[in-house]
Amino acid sequence: MAKTTSNSISVKELIDKKVTNDKRYVEKIIPVILFLLATVSILTTVGIVLTLVFDASQFFRQVSFLDFFFSVDLDPLSRNDPSFGILPLITGTIVSSAIAMCVAIPIGLTAAIFLSEYASEKVRKTIKPLMEVLAGIPTIVYGFFAYSFVTPLLLNIIPDLGAKNVLSPGIVMGIMIIPMVASLSEDAMSSVPNALREGAVALGATKLEVSLKVIVPAAISGIIASFVLGISRAIGETMIVTIASGSSKNFTLDITESMQTMTAYIVEFTSGDAGAGTVGYYSLYAVGLTLFVFTLGMNLLAQYISRKFREEY
């Protein structure tokens, strides 16, 4: 009987030992797997940057930096004297993004204040998902909406508005960005401690005063970061401006005229107009690199603002 007990104990010890060894093996292998998965995004980013830099360098061997960044002449398909000034594209990108943020910032911030300070929990859980549905609509649908609905609507108000213009896609881009601004701003406001609200109310402040003079300043880092990320999203938008703004490479600030953005230029040329290995082909990478620097700068600015103005409670 004692022998049987001894055998059963030794079997249990063997099982425990095997389980322990398996756990140690898993504990060793899991960090390696997680590290490999984490490096995928880093390697992808490095690959994108190297591709842009290498092919853009081929372009700048034939076109000078001054002609590219400071010239207003953009006619890459000219057979006699092609020109590659990017200023019309930068202007179109900035103007369309500015219009978009003029729409997204006031509406998005107002929606965030309502959801954070005025709406009940039930209303918040209903409205916020419905509002974020806007972010899930394909951008090409927004483009057709801007071209077939918003532009004809604006023609009734602005008779001189062109069939292709930068105003219509700018407004629609702003509508598309509203959920981003509202959601991020609402999250920042909701993270402000209730003690600040209660203290302001105890001092006699109204609900509106609490919202605008206490909560918004306390959450300003997250709010500004949402604005900057919204601008970055607008700069990188492609299909809306491609469909509704057209491909006129005008260097102008007239929002009623057709203008082309950097992303729309890339779409136009990748449709087959530029042969591989030509200057026009490599100009795609130069424009793409410029766009990458723009969006990278916006993201770095958002991170800097978040750290600079962050309030810790």
CATH of the domain at 224: 1.10.3720.10
* pLDDT of residue 236 exceeding 50: yes
* pLDDT of residue 125 exceeding 90: no
Confidence of residue 9 (pLDDT cuts 50, 70, 90): low
Six token digits for residue 183: 């959601």
* pLDDT of residue 235 exceeding 80: yes
CA neighbours closer than 13 Å in the CB half-sphere of residue 304: 7
On whether both 6 and 129 belong to a single domain, the answer is no
Run of H or E including 218: helix 216-218
* Average pLDDT estimate for 34-63: 86
On whether both 35 and 110 belong to a single domain, the answer is no
Q: What is the pTM of this model?
A: 0.81
- 313 part of a folded domain: no
User: What is the distance between the alpha carbons of residues 182 and 180, in angstroms, rounded to a whole number?
Assistant: 6
Choosing from 44, 61, 78, the residue where a domain stops is: 61
- 81 part of a folded domain: no
CB atoms within 10 A of CB 196: 16
Q: For residue 21, give its domain range.
A: 2-61
On whether both 101 and 181 belong to a single domain, the answer is yes
CB atoms within 10 A of CB 191: 13
| The pLDDT of residue 4 | 47
* pLDDT of residue 289 exceeding 70: yes
